[in-house]
Amino acid sequence: MLRAEELGFAYTPERFAIRSLSFEVARGEVFGLLGRNGAGKTTTVRVLTTLLPVTEGRGYLFGTELRHAGRAERARLGVVLQSESLDFVSVEQNLTLYAFLWGVPRETAKARAEEMLELFELQPMRKRKPWGLSGGERRRFQVARELMHEMELLFLDEPTVGLDALTRRRILDYLAHRARQGLAIVFTTHILQEADQLCDRIGVLQGGRMRAVGPPGAIKRQYRGARAVEAEFERTLTDPERAQVRGLLASKGQGLVIVSDERGLLVFRATNAEDLVADLSRWAHGAGIDLARISVRETTLEEAFVTLVADDAADGGPADEGLP
Amino acid sequence: MRVPPVVRLVVRNFAATLDPITLLVMFGQPAFLIVILGTMFDQLIPSVGASGSYIAYLVPGMIASQMITGAVLAGRIFWLDRRWAMVEQIFSGPFLRAEYLAALLLTALLFSLVGVGIMVLVALPLIGLTPLSPLEVGAILGTIALGSLFFGGLLVAIGGRIRSANLYFTIQSLLQYFLIFISTVYYPVTSKTPVVLRAIVYANPLTYAANTVRDAFTHSFGSSDLVGASILGGLALGTFTLAVLSFRTLEMGPVQ
């Protein structure tokens, strides 16, 4: 449905905005583009929607090379831009007028407008002009308006900015439902939790280059960095026992940070958390102390993202890296 | 039946921008000028050339100036579409840039023609209009069409290069007043007109448009009007080319 092969866009030969992006989006797949401010997410969306020209590499939209993609390909797209776009009529008229622009029959448009007003909780402000709405309401309106017409691939550039948690969840659930029906979605966001929740695969952009591409789970495994371990002993450790434990962790732990060590509860972070859990269990068994519980907390996508971006900064620049 | 993209865009242009206040300002002001300015100056100016009364002189000028009214609306739509990201939204949809530009210019033309109709309706009770021949009606409509294309193309070309609303609307206002006041819309050019001013008036395309419409109204349409129409046509082609170039290199992204 969408394929980028070493895709790039440069303002001038020396000044590129995105470079060497390679990824694919299949029917019914939700692909998340993550990155810091200025990483190139919006530029990528603009190039893929033909708003900006391809200056290097190739991109394919429904099998047509982006340089030759035109009306026919764009007619199968939906695009929610980062910048707010609106017409100077009421919310309801905006929806029906936009549907008219897309050639949606009048009766279908009216019915769909009602559905969108309901779904995006815009009914109370249907007669109001969109520029008089709050930021979150305007964002809801943007997404609702784009969903007025049929599409096969939907681009959403930061669609949930300014939305409260409940509304965000409602929109994400609806998008997941549409994806299950076959809609492909390309989604940029700063909120990594929602990318983790919604996306089948993600691409992490850094400095205009794709730093990593893969399912959120694979990204988290590869870039999980330090993980938190909580170990609770059956009884409070004596000072010599605590010293032994600390010595063990210090000798074997990588990137070790002891977060707390009180009354038999030990919390620490390390990049080799699983190894330390095994070492700690062996030590406890050898010392005849029972472990009430010991657990390694899962890495969040946010932690993996921070690790990835920090690694990149430490390495002095981004490099392409693919994940299964 | 599937509505052609350009027609859909024109309908959208009208539906999305025509609020009562805009209509009042754009059509009310020239209608007000015909009634007030025409009546008041009619007392001071006994006759003006072939037109006879001053008000009969003023009406064709105000009709010709409607081409600017339509063009100003098209420029405003384009600017607001840029400001509110509708240009990007439309370009990412099933439309060509050429269709969007054509729809803007068509909107300017249709709006100008509506303005012409309103001006004629306002003028009828004041001056009465003698029947016009098909050639004279064609000359008026053709002039309005070329003029709309010229001014519409000019404002769209300017709007595509400027990223500040203040600057755009300042240029538009200056251009509008400069073109209307230094033309033959309100007053004739005679042998007493200073040479420099006369040169500027004749460099202004609106002068040719006003003269052609006036000659059609006084049934004195002639070869000089054909020359004027050719000049206007050439200039319209020029600004249309500028508008196309401006569109081809149009920078996307926020404007203020």
Per-residue pLDDT of chain B (256 residues; tens, 9 = 90+): 789 999 999 999 999 887 888 888 778 888 888 888 888 888 888 777 777 788 888 988 999 999 998 999 999 999 989 988 899 999 999 999 999 999 999 999 999 999 888 888 888 888 887 788 999 899 999 999 999 999 999 999 999 888 888 899 999 999 998 999 999 999 888 888 999 999 999 999 999 999 999 998 888 888 888 888 899 999 999 999 999 999 888 877 667 6
Whether A51 has its CB under 8 Å from any CB of chain B: the answer is yes
Whether A93 has its CB under 8 Å from any CB of chain B: the answer is yes
The answer to whether the beta carbons of residues A195 and A34 sit under 8 Å apart is yes
CB contact under 8 A, B84 and A86: yes
A151 lies in the same domain as A181: yes
B191-205 per-position pLDDT tens digit = 889 999 999 999 999
The CATH number assigned to the domain holding A24 equals 3.40.50.300
Among A195, A222, A249, the domain-final residue is A222
The answer to whether the beta carbons of residues A79 and A155 sit under 8 Å apart is yes
The CATH number assigned to the domain holding A248 equals 3.30.70
A225-234 per-position pLDDT tens digit = 778 899 999 9
Among A186, A201, A222, the domain-final residue is A222
Residue B158, SS3 per DSSP: helix
Boundaries of domain holding A263: 227-296
Boundaries of domain holding B124: 5-248
Report CA torsion sign: A81, A84, A89, A93: positive
Count of domains for chain A: 2
Strands of A227-233's sheet in order across: A257-262, A265-270, A227-233, A291-296
Of B70, B44, B72, nearest in space to B58 by CA: B44
Cα separation, A183 vs A199, in Å, equals 13
Residue A321 has pLDDT above 60, yes or no: no
pLDDT-derived band at A271 (thresholds 50, 70, 90) equals: confident
Residue B253 within a domain: no
B145-163 per-position pLDDT tens digit = 999 999 999 999 999 888 8
Whether A97 has its CB under 8 Å from any CB of chain B: the answer is yes
- Facing B15 at nearest CB: one of A52, A72, A89: A89
CB contact under 8 A, A97 and B12: yes
Residue B16, SS3 per DSSP: helix
Residue A301 within a domain: no
A15 lies in the same domain as A114: yes
Whether B8 has its CB under 8 Å from any CB of chain A: the answer is yes
The answer to whether the beta carbons of residues A185 and A202 sit under 8 Å apart is no
Question: Got the DSSP string for B46-93?
Answer: --BGGGBSHHHHHHHHHHHHHHHHHHHHHHHHHHHHHHTTHHHHHHTS
Residue B119, SS3 per DSSP: helix
A139 lies in the same domain as A287: no
Count of domains for chain B: 1
- Facing B254 at nearest CB: one of A51, A70, A83: A83
A259 lies in the same domain as A203: no
Residue A311 within a domain: no
Report which residue type is found at A210. M
Residue B255 within a domain: no
Per DSSP, helices labelled H in A102-159 are 106-119, 135-146
Q: What's the ipTM?
A: 0.85
Residue B256 within a domain: no
A210-260 per-position pLDDT tens digit = 989 999 888 877 777 778 899 999 999 899 999 999 999 999 998 888 888
Among A194, A222, A250, the domain-final residue is A222
pLDDT at B244 (0 to 100):
92
Cα separation, B223 vs A180, in Å, equals 70
Q: Which residues contact B203 (CB under 8 A, 6 or more apart)?
A: none
A100 lies in the same domain as A151: yes
Residue A89, SS3 per DSSP: coil
CA distances from B214 to A144, B12, B123, B238 (A): 52, 34, 14, 25
Maximum separation of any 2 CA atoms in chain A, in Å:
80
A247 lies in the same domain as A151: no
The answer to whether the beta carbons of residues A149 and A99 sit under 8 Å apart is yes
